[in-house]
Structure 1
């Protein structure tokens, strides 16, 4: 990749270390909007209640996404930040959807289906339809966990499509609820301390499904298209609108570096971070509040065609102030991410290189060479920071 030349427009003043770094990179900046932000800082804020000493209540995290959008991979990245390998409850149902680790428990909200696969077929509804979900039970049990009480939770068996007997879940330090409807019910929504939405564009979702279902399962292109179209109305009506309630959104889009790229192998990933969230500071590139487009120096990153491009700047999302950090393209060598890491701020890493270390540790996970892995890792570090702020207790760094 050829070494680009520097270009600055209306650039705010930078430190000596920043100035040295800017040489050999393409940067474009527009004037800061910090003054505008300051005038609206008191509006649309999201409040967290600090747990009083001795309460020791679980921290509640919500993760929403459509099926096949990377929730399981994200869970494993996040759990790795807190330590321990995820495992199913010992001695329980081998088809349990629950994952346990040293500090975390992950519950799949499919377990709160009130209609099994056959019941949904009989009534003509999909699993995305709220009619198939028992929100009263979900709310009561999430509230019980929040109040440090154990629950007896049903299990939705994804193999048989039936509801299996209940399993007992004890309150952990961190409870994660992942699935299709974590933010649909307002009562449940108010119990979360932090919320994430994984937003995969239709183009990328279609490309991924073709790769999986045609190559691995022998499905025809026509059947894949029909399956996607059958789900679309319910997804648009019930799942997609939940992203407006999330504190951070990881949005996966087709690359803009290759015209008409259809395979979904090169991705543009946007990390949308709401402003005003207590105990959460958005990650930024170079200069907080500025608008920056950056092509890293080709002598310092090994990136084959089409290269890598970063973007950072303020924006609005569903009427709220956000900061957006974006990566288009992918790394050839994950260890070289440390060059990018040194120019990111408010990452919630405890030491320089921790993001790269986490990425290398999970290098076998999908997305480890692009923005999905990078931003999922940063969100895991953010959750750790929120936890430490709420309970006033430090989490040991996991190598």
Structure 2
């Protein structure tokens, strides 16, 4: 009980800070962003690929909050607030760039071309490559803006390099030149059944759309998704796979979530359960991790994925109390947490976000911590190399 109270208290404070952190900077007093790169510092580039409506925004909140520091964004605020529309999130550590900004045509232009935004013919890959390369070299770029409110291509905005550059969207791994600039790549893989259930909940229950129109929308997008989006997951170092539960075949809401972690990636060690390299299925004690029906189960196993050796960490089911997740956390190795209970604290800080009571939030948090650790390792290596050069020059 003492631990639960402590973790909960920390999380409340963290959540309070986080709620103000994502206000535009002008609303948060006079604190200035410290985005300048250290001398000789090379930004690391993280790529995140997923279809629309698959949780990229929630994942980005978990990643940016993990780095801490001063955060503002989105930079615009929308026309209704007297600002401008933007998709870019900026902090003193990370810049998140939405690749929708590299659409070739606006919404009306795609009506003329007859192509969807998923089609690679509708993307400016040359410009995408030039900008990612420039940012990695520490240069400022003028990035276009795709306005999701009215479907227009707006005037470009200036983007300065930060220590971490995250590019997220439909096609971050399609262009080989861009892939070669990425230090760590992730893919959110939502199964068709889960995607349908999510879309029905959002569009039918919340927006009043008919089931027929929802099914038609999914079917219209499917050929381009299969052709242009899904093939990118073979390039990912870390795949979060979201599936229907195996615990009850009639249950349409409970999820099984798998973190498919590629072995042999520089500066990355896959998380494991209990014993690295083993094969484990574990049902946590209900006295320590309470769960509604159909229950909860974790697993860890070794598999092949697109010909690569991977370690798979899996959670099937929901939990009632995020604070109790510290019991699971204590049995996860290579979690990259800085202190006991940090994973649970991070989950509590975003308790109202989708997936915070199941494996979605857990695997996203582990991925965020892995990105932070990769950044720390690459930064330390760069400093060591710089010190050696200074010593040789002296």
Structure 2 residue aligned with 1:200: 190
Aligned to 2:215: 225
Q: Does 1:68 align with 2:53?
A: yes
4+ long deviations beyond 4 Å: 90-93
CA distance in 1 between counterparts of 2:285 and 2:292 reads 13
- Retained in 1: the 8 A contact 2:76–2:86? no
1:57 to 34, 38, 42: 42
- Residues 68-217 of structure 1: pairs in structure 2 closer than 5 A: 68-83=53-68, 84-89=70-75, 94-217=84-207
Q: 1:338 to 1:96 in 2, by over 3 A?
A: same
Structure 1 gaps, min length 5: 1-52, 395-399
Aligned to 1:383: 371
Of residues 337-346 and 96-105 in structure 1, the stretch that sits farther from structure 2 once superposed is: 96-105
Q: Secondary structure at the match of 1:269?
A: strand
Looking at structure 2, the residues matched to 303 and 85 of structure 1 have their Cα atoms a distance apart, in angstroms, of: 34
Q: Residue in 2 aligned with 1:358?
A: 346
Greater relative contact order (Cα < 8 A, sep 6+): 1
CA RMSD, aligned part only?
Answer: 1.5
Other-structure match for 1:282: 270
8 Å Cα contact 2:76-2:85 kept in structure 1: no
Distance verdict in 2 for CA 1:179–1:153, change over 3 Å: same
CA offsets 1:163-193 (integer angstroms, 9 cap, x no match): 0000000001111000000000000001011
Counterpart secondary structure, 2:181 = coil
Deviation at 1:55, TM superposition (A): 1.8
* Deviation by residue 1:81-102 (Cα, 9 ceiling, x = unmatched): 1114441226995310001122
Q: What CA distance in whole angstroms lies between the structure 2 residues aligned with 1:227 and 1:357?
A: 38
1 CA distance for matches of 2:254 and 2:71?
Answer: 29
The answer to whether the Cα contact below 8 Å between 1:283 and 1:347 also exists between their aligned partners in 2 is yes
Q: Shift of residue 261 of structure 1?
A: 2.3
Pairs aligned (count):
340
Cα offsets for 1:45-77 (capped at 9, x unmatched): xxxxxxxx9421111000000000000000001
Per-residue CA deviations over 1:114-138 (Å, capped at 9, x if unaligned) read: 1111111111100000011000000
Is contact 1:61-1:175 (8 Å) kept? Answer: yes
TM-score (norm 2): 0.84
1:326-347 deviations in Å (ceiling 9; x for gaps): 0000110000000000000000
1 or 2, which has the higher helix percentage? 2
